[in-house]
Structure 1
Amino acid sequence: MIKMKFLYSIILCILSSVVYAQTKKTPQLDLAITWQPLENNYLKDEQGLSVLEIKNVGKTALPKNGWKLFFNFIRVITPKNADQPFNVAHLNGDLSCFTPGKNFEGLKPGESLKYEMLSNSWMVNTSDSPQGFYLVWDNSNEIVPFKPVSFVAPPDQKKFFRVGGDKETTPEMIFNANQSISNISESKLTKVFPTPVEYVENGKSLTLSSNLSIGYETGFENEANLLANDLFKLFGKKIKVSKLPSAAKPTIILLNDGSANEAYTLSVDEKGVTINAGSNAGIFYGIQSLKTLIDPAAFATDKNKEIVLTGVEVKDSPRFGYRGFMLDVARNFQPKAQILKLLDVFALYKINTLHFHLNDDEGWRLEIPALPELTNVGAKRAHANAQGSHLQPSYGSGPYIDQLPGSGYYSKEDFKEILRYATARHICVIPEIETPGHARAAIKSMDYRYQNLLKKGDKIAAEKYLLRHLEDQSVYRSVQKWNDNVMDVAMPSVYNFLETVTDEIITMYKEANAPLETIHFGGDEVPKGVWEKSPAFNRLKQSNSEVKTTADLWNYYFGKVSTMLKKKGLYLSGWEEVGLKKAVENGKSKWLVNDKFANQNVHVNVWNNLLGNEDLAYRLANGNYKVVISFVSTFYFDMAYFKKFEEPGFYWGGFTELDKPFNFIPYNYLKNQQKNYLGRQLSEKVLNEAEKLTEVGKNNIVGLQGQLWSETIKNSHHLEYLLMPRLLALAERAWSKSPDWAEEADETKAKELYGQSLSAFYNLLGKRELRRLNHYAGGFSYRVPTPGLKVNGGSVSANVQLPGFSIRYTTDGSVPTLKSPLYTQPVSIGSQLTFRTFDHAGRGSEVSKIDQVKNDGAK
């Protein structure tokens, strides 16, 4: 009977979507919704108990029936008990629906109710909350959206912990971590960032003014003009640029010395600036180093009269040729202007690859003129309709079409502009077309195309690009809870689709005069159960002796994709699964290196270093795959900085504080990253049996890459909060040579050297680079660190992670502002003391309160 009620609820929710109307909110009905998590491991199972409070703050009652309430929640939920007021149905992905329960009698203005629910996993922070609530009336199909959900922290932290030893990050924990950071005078800091191979201050200085000039040797015109534009933004006057030799000696000269690849030298003295390199990229990176040499305060205005440069001699080249960043714009979209802004900061810090995640289950973001449905359907999210003319709401994107961040795409011209902008700044853009899983946006777009052409009687054209078999009865559920998001790789039409998309992308790159060496075809998280009952798979088995089970489709699929790319002069890139196969060892399923695509210049991004896969990157590199280290526990910047209910971001791969990417040792990462995603020490067995990197493998580590998945990102401010300042730690590790603390064998000495290095890095950020980023490229909303607090007897001490930032406090519990007292010494204890960090631009952090700290000195 319970199952029948559940199915009935699903049917009701789906039927409500058959007719779709976009109308304005009914002014009389308004619901305020609050979510509070209560307990993890409820009833000693890995599930969470939470409560929704729904209050009618409108002028009319919510009736006892005749409506459905839709919402997004990354968890599948069930009611705590049968007495709850609503029935609930999980629809697809993260979309669920409430319908009136048998006990619901309506909700009058001013009344409220509570709905207690169980979710199928732990909860940690506000990113776990349900969101995007909207109501649809049964009779009129009118839509009523509601304000964002409010959050209330769990009442009992101990009940909220996931495992033994789990802790909420406290101000005292932050204080203790900050205590090891030394305050270093800015005059003693290396003023070029990332840290160059050789850096010496020569005791001289150079004063720049608006009458400076730039001279360049043949081939460096683009770089000279970019530098002139940068200097124009500082002086507000056009800078003279000329080809060498010129009549008068320029202030800044760009010379070709024949150096390899991206290497350069930079010399600054009282006579001028000289940048030598053997390539355009080398000259460009010398210019970026020159820009970081400039006092950050100069970037606050375009009316500088003069800028004084410290005299330096720099010799530099990158550690890794691949220094990448992956940006997901599929889950939630980012406009073109934000992409260009990110390219500016990537270029400044010598990140040379943008891995552009352009499609996923929740969106297709690149116009493909030959297949207009991909953006006409796949780039739009709204309340569902029978025609399938757009995608369903996801991640709280709401019921209305054409609204950011759920909807949006780059036109062909937009994309070419991005490519040109990146290319001028020596950034390669790798387009990712996620397949065969994570492909729902493409699948639904081609379904819509199929239906339209079938109505016109053109069955052949309708089936040409179909991505699923209409009679496939396979049952599966992806990690993100989709049941219809995997392409049927046994169908020839899938390869028609991929080749058409590939050809259109190649054309865009050619028209933009941008380099293209590879296309990333995804390959991750294909769920169990796919293709098993597909008629196309059954037919393929009859005609292809190498295909016996669905597992064989993996080699079949990526073999065809790789061959297609090779014919077009490209190589295959993918996530780690492209180079792996599943096997059973000692009764347990394990990933093994797949020899099929080894030694074929196949590049794989290895993200999984969790739970038995700690050595996976090295195993793939040793097995002759080209590896881009992209670890979730180190370089996934969508992970929260630390465990705190109010701190946004996911956490399934662990928490990623600023020091995590900084202390990464690429060729021996288990040397100092020996904890799992729950912060527990890895066993000696894991550490001892983990495969070590061979010399062959070392040569196959092509670089490092940061990732920013966008499920939780609603706007550019939140994107920049998660990105910065962690991007700078990635840049340092990808560009700079192996630091002395990573090479030191003596653990005590290595720890001491590391402490000095981390302090220098934090000082550089707090006193120089983040001051620069307040204004550079329009300014960035980086994360300002929360202050640490420690109570000792009758006083409170405070500190901050980044020297150069200030702390202010209040004594009445109010949020500190720039007018609040400046913290300079321990403050007498008071029950409502509240502290907050401020950067140089006056932006404040989250607050730390005295009631969150225990008194170590109390008697």
Structure 2
Amino acid sequence: MSQKQQNNCPKHTTPGAIILILMLMFSAPVFAQENKTFDENDLHINWRLVTNHFDNQDQSQAILSITNQGKEVFPSTGWTIFFSYGRGILPDQTNGPFLVSHLNGDNYQCRTTGRIKDLNPGDSLWLSFVSYGQILNYTAAPNGFYIVWDSQPDKGFSIRNYTALPIRDTTVGFVSPADTYRKNRFIKDIHPEKLPLVFPTAVSESRASGEFLLDADVLIVTDPLFAPEADLLSETFHTIIGKPLKISQDSVMGKTISLKKIVLSEEAYKLDVQPDQIVISASEGAGIFYGIQSLRSAMPLTSGDKKPKQIRIPAMLIDDAPRFVHRGFMLDIARNFQPKAELLKVIDLMAMYKLNRLQLHFSDDEGWRIEIPALPELTEVGGRRGFTTDSHEFLPSSYGAGPEPGQKPASGFYTRNDFIEILKYATARHIMIIPEIESPGHSRAAIKAMDNRYRHFMELGDKTEAERYLLRDLNDQSIHSSAQQWTDNVMCVALPSTYHFLETVIDALRAMYLEAQAPLTTIHLGGDEVPEGTWEKSPLCNQLIAKNQEINSTDDLWYYYFDKMDEMLKQRHLTLSGWEEIAMRKTILNGAKHFIPNPGFADRGFRANVWNNGIGWGSEDLPYRLANAGYQVVLSCVSHLYFDLAYEKSPDEPGLYWGGFNDLNKPFDFIPFDYYKNTTENTDGNPVDSTLFIGRDRLTDYGKSNILGIQGQLWAENIRSTATLEYLLFPKMLALAERAWAPDPSWAGEKNHGKQQSLYQDAWSVFVNTVGRKELPRLSDYPGGAVLYRIPPVGAIIQDGTLIANIQIPGFDIRYTTDGTAPTIKSKMYSKPLTEKGKFTLCAFSKDGRKGRIISLINP
């Protein structure tokens, strides 16, 4: 679900030690390292990509150089360097006296064999290694280097002087300024007054004459049912005009904003703005809340510290309702943690754009992020990462975390009180939080935490208590490697203690929801990426297979597990949710293993987040097959809705790319009931073959009734700051909100290709103008702190001796220099084509002075 095929390793291959080239440049005599005397701050490590086509294959060769920049000799032995690297290193050869070894997950170590000389000041050594797949941006480089001295084997020291040199590969088709220009060339500039009044697009909106003057004298008059929404509305205006509006449940004279109960469909609302009053009508609080968000959307932008005393709101009539019940976003807080304040900010922003489901990925191999009072080891061990050789007290560093346990974002968790506060905050904004507890795979954090508990009670001589929550068969000799290279991350489904553990966790979560008075209808149990070979050599699993006539193989243990979990959840009036694998069954076709929709669970009400429609992988129709088979499906497609994928193929863009590149247009282009129609590129970024979708299943009318909605995903392997989170999330979340809420656009159903493209380009222009001229300025002025959204790079070409520039999102200023320096907010503004010769350096700037990526080109 999060890093499929990232390693591109054959399933029988286990990454291991490999060195292809070793070059040494030093001449000092060898001496033994008895004590740590060398300052690790004097080491400098550089990483440089050599080629993405090693041995004429999709394999990358890179060089690590280690340089002694200090005044002391760096010893040849007595140390080990550790680092994180998310790709499998080819295990085909080891040369020379310097070894790199795969440990577990993305953790590697390198050390010498003692047959090299010490490093004099200024000297360097080089290590070349080859990895599966291509390196296409800087986030794919190794990171998190630290050194452990043999004399202090329990302590790691960060190597802070590390540089990943710029990627200069010209053979992989990186996006050029000209490519960007051509992609933007059909976008029209639209005056803000001609844009829709509210965002996301409403079912119906019409402008009226006049305007409502909002000031501190306006009263909110509310039906008692909508008192919570009235409080939020009053507080909203407090942040805008500096004073909260008074609230009454009785009729009053003067200008009012009335919240009225009428009969409408679920979550629907009416917004009627007249010069003397504003009326928001709905049948329930959610509808009123969404009407309030539309009122905010229609208000003119305000900025700066000075609050306006009066706001003019144009008269209008809005009739609106959501397209989908499930308008979701999944945030991974397990791989890297997010502070509570940032999570509340995300909830606020979701609510502003009428998204209503937040799936929190609480646990994975690299972290457990929610306090369970009965099992404190989950956060004491699973909530921390750092240097460890055994994962006894905390987890290994992973994702560049470095050696020190307790450092955020690698470490951290929400306390019980934190989560209750988060639940209350989300519920007030009509967002249901769906807790995700990964199982039975992706469970290493939980497994190691319960191993800690097991050891503790065994030391006390209490075997019964030690085994109460144990999650693995202690005698299991199975050999497997997960998609992220973990070899010990799957719960033992034959252990009764596994189910006792999950029961304890689920009941603890239920108690938090109950105390917060928050809705809980489903638990997401993950269910993805259990690797081949799991359970095959587990004595307990083989005993279960032998005595249970319904289990014929280790493959059947999967169905045994989810049958038991479904029963556990149903006893608690909860529905089982998971990734698509919960709805799949493994069978044999033409002698090979093949996956089909599982008929055994189709009538259970399982909710499947289906992600695997990778364009060109062969499962492009999987979401539709499962919906047609009767499963409740949330479209979570990697092709359009994975926000952690890089915006484009550029060495300077952060993000993964195993599933393709997802720019702002991808979620906007998404046609939920027929995404084949508007899919133009495969996961490699190449044009889609016109025959690709021939023979693929189409969504039936019955299947459509099983589509609950759509959901964006943001996995956190590369998210080490709130700034990176917001960069990857915005503006993509705006396109998600538009597709989840707004009616099916006319261009999506148009059968004539030419007309469809014309309608699409018009709609795309309206959308990006709305984003750039209304929504991004609103996010820049967000009361909880400016949202650090991505500013797109400038597109530019040289045509007939003239430089012409454009940008994907209108509303940004394009500035440039001609002396080779980086543009600043004071540089020349681009306003028309440029005919002068020489090198141009261009960059887009927001109104508050932030800038996007710099591009350069030469007009010869």
Q: Same fold (TM over 0.5)?
A: yes
> Would the aligned equivalents of 1:78 and 1:88 in 2 still touch at CA under 8 Å?
no
Instruction: Give, in angstroms, the shift of residue 211 of structure 1.
Output: 2.1
In the TM superposition, 1:719-758 aligns within 5 A as 719-758=725-764
- Which segment is superposed worse, 347-356 or 144-153? 144-153
Q: Distance in 2 between matches of 1:763 and 1:324?
A: 24
Q: 1:45 deviation in Å?
A: 3.0
Name the CA distance, whole Å, in 2 between partners of 1:25 and 1:412: 45
Shift of 1:117: 0.9
Once the two structures are aligned, what percentage of the paired residues are identical? Answer: 45
Equivalence for 2:815: 808
Q: Does the 8 A contact of 1:75 with 1:94 survive in 2? A: yes
Report the Cα distance in structure 2 between the residues aligned to 1:386 and 1:119, rounded to whole angstroms.
Answer: 26
CA distance in 1, matches of 2:130, 2:837: 39
Structure 1 residue 747, shift from structure 2 partner: 1.1
**The one of 373, 376, 383 aligned to 1:379:** 383
Q: CA contact under 8 A between 1:676 and 1:682: conserved in structure 2? A: yes
Matched, 1:850 2:857: yes
From 88, 106, 113, give the equivalent of 1:76.
Answer: 88
C-alpha deviation, 1:106, in angstroms: 2.4
1:505 alignment partner in structure 2: 509
The 3 A distance-change label for structure 1 pair 8 and 247 is closer
**Alignment partner, residue 273 of structure 2:** 268
CA distance in 2, matches of 1:387, 1:435: 19
1:202 aligns with 2:208: yes
Name the amino acid aligned to 2:296: K
How far apart are 1:147 and its partner, in Å?
1.8
Within 5 Å, which residues of 2 pair with 1:336-351? 336-351=340-355
Residue 587 of structure 2 aligns with which residue?
Answer: 583
Name the CA distance, whole Å, in 1 between partners of 2:146 and 2:712: 35
Partner residue of 1:467? 471
Are 1:766 and 2:772 an aligned pair? yes
User: Is the partner of 2:511 in helix, strand or coil?
Assistant: helix
Per the TM alignment, residue 751 of structure 1 is displaced from its structure 2 partner at its CA by: 0.6
Residue 221 of structure 1 corresponds to: 227
Contact 2:84/2:142 (8 A) holds in 1: yes
TM-score, normalisation: structure 2? 0.94
* Aligned residues of 2:38 and 2:73 also touching (Cα < 8 A): no
Q: Is the 8 A contact 1:627 1:701 kept in 2?
A: yes
- Indicate the SS of the match to 1:687: coil
The verdict on how the C-alpha distance between 1:733 and 1:7 changes in structure 2, with shifts beyond 3 A counting, is closer
Q: Which of 794, 813, 820 is the equivalent residue of 2:827? A: 820
Distance 1:103 1:850, change over 3 A: farther
Q: Distance in 1 between matches of 2:93 and 2:105?
A: 24
Q: Separation in 2 of the partners of 1:718 and 1:453?
A: 42
Deviation at 1:149, TM superposition (A): 3.3
Match of 1:114 among 104, 120, 126: 126
Q: Aligned ranges for residues 49-88 of structure 1 at < 5 Å?
A: 49-77=61-89, 86-88=98-100
CA distance in 2 between counterparts of 1:401 and 1:783 reads 31
Q: Which of 319, 328, 351 does residue 324 from structure 1 map onto?
A: 328
Judge conservation of contact 1:725–1:782 (CA < 8 Å) in 2.
Answer: yes
In the alignment, the residues of structure 1 paired with residue 442 and residue 836 of structure 2 have an alpha-carbon distance, to the nearest angstrom, of 53
Letter of the 1:196 counterpart: A
1:7 & 1:172 partners in 2: Cα distance? 42
* Helix, strand or coil at the partner of 2:762: helix
Query: Which is further off, 554-563 or 26-35?
Result: 26-35
Q: How does 1:414-493 map to 2 (within 5 A)?
A: 414-493=418-497
Residue 725 of structure 1 contacts residue 783 of structure 1 at CA under 8 Å; is this kept in 2?
yes
Are the aligned partners of 1:614 and 1:690 in contact in 2 as well (CA < 8 Å)? yes
Alignment check: 8 A CA contact 1:786 1:837 kept: yes
1:189 counterpart = 2:189:
no
The alpha carbon displacement at 1:799 in A equals 1.0
In structure 2, do the counterparts of structure 1 residues 25 and 741 end up closer, same or farther at CA, with 3 Å as the change threshold? Answer: farther
CA contact (8 A) 1:29 1:62 kept: no
248, 252, 258: which one aligns with 2:257: 252
Deviates more, 1:778-787 or 1:539-548: 539-548
* Conservation of the 8 A alpha-carbon contact between 2:385 and 2:411: yes
Q: CA deviation at 1:112?
A: 2.4
2:288 corresponds to which letter in structure 1?
I
Give the corresponding residue for 1:143: 156
**Deviation (angstroms), 1:794:** 3.2
After superposition, what is the alpha-carbon deviation per residue over 1:639-669, rounded to whole angstroms, capped at 9, x for unaligned?
Answer: 0000011111001111001111101111111
Letter in 2 for 1:780: V
Determine the C-alpha separation between the residues in 2 that align with 1:210 and 1:84: 77
Q: Aligned partners of 1:378, 1:657: CA distance in 2, in Å?
A: 34
Aligned with residue 172 of structure 1, among 174, 178, 199 = 178
Cα deviation for residue 341 of structure 1 reads 0.3
Please tell me whether the aligned partners of residues 25 and 143 of structure 1 are also in contact (alpha carbons under 8 angstroms): no
CA displacement 1:273-293 (0-9 Å, x = unmatched): 110100100000000000111
Secondary structure in 1 matching 2:666: helix
SS of match in other structure, 2:693: helix
**In the alignment, what sits opposite 1:41?**
53
Q: Which residue of 1 aligns with 2:630?
A: 624
- Cα offset, 1:58, TM superposition: 2.9
Pair 1:717 & 2:723 matched? yes
Q: Which amino acid aligns with 1:397?
A: A
TM-superposed deviation, 1:29: 4.2
Q: Which amino acid counterpart does residue 95 of structure 1 have in structure 2?
A: N
- DSSP 3-state at the match of 1:688: coil
Aligned positions of 1:643-654 closer than 5 A: 643-654=649-660
1:193-221 CA-to-partner distances (Å, cap 9, x unmatched) read 00000011112211211222211012101
- Secondary structure of the 1:437 match is coil
* Contact 2:81–2:145 under 8 Å retained in 1: yes
Q: Secondary structure at the match of 1:262?
A: coil
Aligned residue in 2 for 1:546: 550
Aligned partner letter, 1:808:
R
Partner of 2:5: none
Cα pair 2:40 2:158 within 8 Å, conserved: no
Q: Which amino acid in 1 is paired with 2:258?
A: I
Q: Which residue of 1 aligns with 2:166?
A: 153
Contact kept? 1:622, 1:697, Cα under 8 Å: yes
In the alignment, which residue of structure 1 is the partner of 2:645? Answer: 639
Whether the 8 Å CA contact 2:40–2:159 is kept in 1: the answer is no
User: Contact 1:83–1:103 at 8 Å: present in 2 too?
Assistant: no
Distance in 2, matches of 1:676 and 1:265, equals 41
Aligned AA for 1:275? I
Partner of 1:410: 414
Q: Distance in 2 between matches of 1:300 and 1:86?
A: 58
1:6 to 1:784, Cα distance in 2 relative to 1, 3 A? closer
Alpha-carbon shift at residue 829 of structure 1 (Å) = 4.5
1:570 maps to amino acid: L
Q: What's the RMSD between the two structures over aligned residues?
A: 2.0
* Long gaps (5+) in structure 2: 1-12, 20-34
8 A contact 2:17–2:100 mirrored in 1? no
Name the CA distance, whole Å, in 2 between partners of 1:246 and 1:77: 72
Q: Which shifted more, 94-103 or 321-330? A: 94-103
- Are residues 1:838 and 2:860 paired? no
User: 1: distance between equivalents of 2:16 and 2:795?
Assistant: 49
Corresponding residue SS for 2:694 = helix
SS in 1 for 2:83: strand
Letter aligned with residue 820 of structure 2 = G
Conserved? CA contact 2:38–2:74, under 8 Å: no
Matched-pair contact (CA < 8 Å) for 2:16–2:91: no
Q: 1:124 to 1:625 in 2, by over 3 A?
A: same
Report the AA paired with residue 513 of structure 2.
Y
Cα distance in 2 for partners of 1:659, 1:300 equals 31
Q: Secondary structure at the match of 2:450?
A: helix
**Cα deviations by residue, 1:233-267 (Å, 9 ceiling, x for unpaired):** 01112321111x23334521100012121000001
- C-alpha displacement of 1:548: 1.6
Deviation string for 1:773-799 (max 9, x for gaps)? Answer: 002132200000000111124331211
Once the 2 structures are TM-superposed, how far is the Cα of residue 103 of structure 1 from its aligned partner? 4.8
Distance 1:177 1:663 in 2: 14
State whether structure 2 residue 793 is matched by structure 1 residue 789.
Answer: no
How many residue pairs match? The answer is 828
Do the aligned partners of residues 277 and 32 (structure 1) sit closer, same or farther apart at CA in structure 2, a change above 3 Å counting? same
Contact 1:215–1:250 at 8 Å: present in 2 too? no
CA distance in 2, matches of 1:479, 1:764: 40
The match for 2:103 is 91
